[in-house]
Structure 1
Amino acid sequence: MKPIWIVDDDQSIRFVLEKALQRESLPTRSFTHPREVLDALADATDEGPQVLVSDIRMPGGSGLDLLDKVKQQMPGLPVIIMTAFSDLDSAVSAFQGGAFEYLPKPFDLPKAVELIRRAVEESQREEVEEERLSAVPEMLGQAPAMQDVFRAIGRLSQSNVTVLITGESGSGKELVARALHKHSPRAKGPFVAINTAAIPKDLLESELFGHERGAFTGAQTMRRGRFEQAEGGTLFLDEIGDMPFDLQTRLLRVLSDGHFYRVGGHSAVKAHVRVIAATHQNLEQRVKEGAFREDLFHRLNVIRLRLPALRERREDVPLLTRFFLQQSAKQLGVEPKRISDAALKVMCAFDFPGNVRQLENICHWLTVMAPAQSIEVKDLPPELLGASGPDASVVASAQAGPDMPVPAATEAPSPPLSVAQPVVAPVQGAAPGWEQGLRAEALALLSEGRPDVWDLLTRRFETSLIQTALACTRGRRIEAAQKLGIGRNTITRKIQELNLE
Structure 2
Amino acid sequence: MKPIWIVDDDESIRWVLEKALARENLATKSFANARDAIAALEFDTPQVLVSDIRMPGASGLELLQTVKSRFPGLPVIIITAFSDLDSAVAAFQGGAFEYLAKPFDIDKAVELIRRALEESLRETSVESGPSETPEILGQAPAMQEVFRAIGRLSQSNVTVLITGESGSGKELVARALHKHSPRAAQSFIALNTAAIPKDLLESELFGHERGAFTGAQTTRRGRFEQAENGTLFLDEIGDMPFDLQTRLLRVLSDGHFYRVGGHQPMKANVRVITATHQNLEQRVRDGLFREDLYHRLNVIRLRLPSLRERREDIPILVRHFLVQSARQLGVEAKRMSEPTMQFLSSLDLPGNVRQLENLCNWITVMAPGQTVEIKDLPLELTQGQGDGASTAAGDDAPAAVVHPHGGQVFEAVAPATGAPPGWIGLLELQAAGMLGAGQQEVMAVLGRQFESALIKTALKHTHGRKNDAAVRLGIGRNTITRKISELGIDGAKDE
Does TM, scored on the shorter chain, surpass 0.5?
yes
Name the structure 1 match of 2:442. 486
Which residue type is aligned with residue 284 of structure 1? E
Which whole-Å CA distance do the structure 1 matches of 2:184 and 2:329 have between them?
31
Task: Describe the shift of the 1:468–1:233 C-alpha distance in structure 2 as closer, same or farther (beyond 3 A).
Answer: closer
Q: 1:153 to 1:281 in 2, by over 3 A?
A: same
- Paired position in structure 2 for 1:210: 207
Structure with greater contact order relative to length (CA < 8 Å, sep ≥ 6): 1
Question: Which letter does structure 1 place at the counterpart of 2:234?
Answer: L
Distance 2:150 2:273 in 1: 13
**Residue in 1 aligned with 2:189?**
192
Which residue of the partner structure matches residue 291 of structure 2?
294
Query: Who is 1:303 aligned against?
Result: 300
- Match of 2:294, SS state, is helix
Which residue in the other structure is 1:377 paired with? 374
Q: What is the Cα deviation at residue 267 of structure 1?
A: 1.1
Change (3 A) 1:231 1:479: same
CA contact (8 A) 1:241 1:279 kept: yes
Residues 464 and 472 of structure 1, relative CA distance in 2, 3 Å threshold: farther
Q: Any residues of structure 2 matched to 1:50-449 within 5 Å, and which?
A: 138-387=135-384, 390=385, 392=386, 395=389
Q: Are 2:193 and 2:237, in contact at CA under 8 Å, matched by a contact in 1?
A: yes
Q: 1:393, CA displacement in angstroms?
A: 5.6
Distance 1:373 1:148, change over 3 A: same
Tell whether 2:411 aligns with 1:464. Answer: yes
Alpha-carbon distance, 1:464 to partner: 1.2
Whether contact under 8 Å (1:237, 1:278) holds in the other structure is: yes
Rounded Cα–Cα distance in structure 1 between residues aligned with 2:220 and 2:151:
36
1:305 corresponds to which letter in structure 2? L
- What SS is found at the alignment partner of 2:233? strand
Does structure 2 retain, via aligned residues, the 8 Å contact 1:478–1:488? no
Partners in 1 of 2:137 and 2:283 — Cα distance? 31
Instruction: Provide closer, same or farther for how the CA distance between residues 330 and 394 of structure 1 changes in structure 2, counting only shifts above 3 A.
Output: same
**Cα separation, 1, equivalents of 2:147 and 2:290:** 30
Supply the distance in 1 between the matched residues of 2:442 and 2:207 (Cα, whole angstroms). Answer: 38
- Equivalent residue letter for 1:486: V
Shift of 1:395: 3.2
Question: Distance between the aligned counterparts of 2:334 and 2:381, measured in 1?
Answer: 18
Q: Cα 1:153–1:211, aligned 2, differ >3 Å: closer, same or farther?
A: same
Judging changes above 3 Å, is the alpha-carbon distance between structure 1 residues 259 and 467 closer, same or farther for their aligned structure 2 residues?
A: closer
The CA distance in 2 between the partners of 1:349 and 1:224, in whole Å, is 47
Deviation of residue 285 (structure 1)?
A: 0.3
Deviations, residues 262-301 of structure 1 (Å, cap 9, x unaligned): 1111111000000000000000000000000000000000
Show structure 2 runs of 5+ residues with no match: 1-132, 398-405, 436-440, 450-495
Q: Give how far 1:382 is off.
A: 1.6
**Mapped contact 1:365–1:472 kept (Cα < 8 A):** no
Alignment RMSD, CA only? Answer: 3.1
Q: How far is 1:472 from its partner?
A: 7.3
Gap change, CA 1:289 and 1:460, over 3 Å in 2? farther
Q: 1:364 to 1:203 in 2, by over 3 A?
A: same
Per-residue displacement from partner, 1:183-203 (whole Å, max 9, x unpaired)? 000000000000000000000
For residues 382-415 of structure 1, the C-alpha deviation after alignment (integer angstroms, 9 at most, x for no partner) is 222122xx4x16637x959xxxxxxxxxxxxxxx
Amino acid at match of 2:339: A
Q: Please give the alpha-carbon distance, in whole angstroms, between the structure 1 residues aligned to 2:267 and 2:189.
A: 17
Query: Relative to structure 1, is the Cα distance of residues 167 and 466 closer, same or farther in structure 2, using a 3 angstrom cutoff?
Result: closer
Q: TM-score, normalised by structure 1?
A: 0.55
Q: TM-score, normalised by structure 2?
A: 0.56
* Paired amino acid for 2:389: V
SS at match of 2:189: strand
Give the gaps of 5 or more residues in structure 1. Answer: 1-135, 401-436, 442-458, 494-501
CA shift, 1:220, in A, is 1.6
Indicate if the aligned counterparts of 1:481 and 1:491 stay in contact, CA closer than 8 A.
no
CA change 1:344–1:482 in 2 (3 A) is closer
Pair 1:490–1:299, CA change in 2 (3 A)? closer
CA–CA distance in structure 2, aligned partners of residues 360 and 211 of structure 1:
37
Query: What displacement does 1:371 show?
Result: 0.7
Amino acid at match of 1:203: L
SS at match of 1:248: helix
Q: Deviations over 1:154-192 (max 9, x none)?
A: 000000000000000000000000000000000000000
Which secondary structure state, in structure 2, belongs to the residue aligned with residue 298 of structure 1?
Answer: helix
- The 8 Å contact of residues 481 and 487 in structure 1, kept in 2 or not, is answered as no
| Identical amino acids, percent of aligned pairs | 70
- Alpha-carbon separation, structure 1, partners of 2:274 and 2:298: 9
Letter in 1 for 2:348: D
User: Is the radius of gyration larger for structure 1 or structure 2?
Assistant: 1
Q: Distance in 1 between matches of 2:281 and 2:408?
A: 45
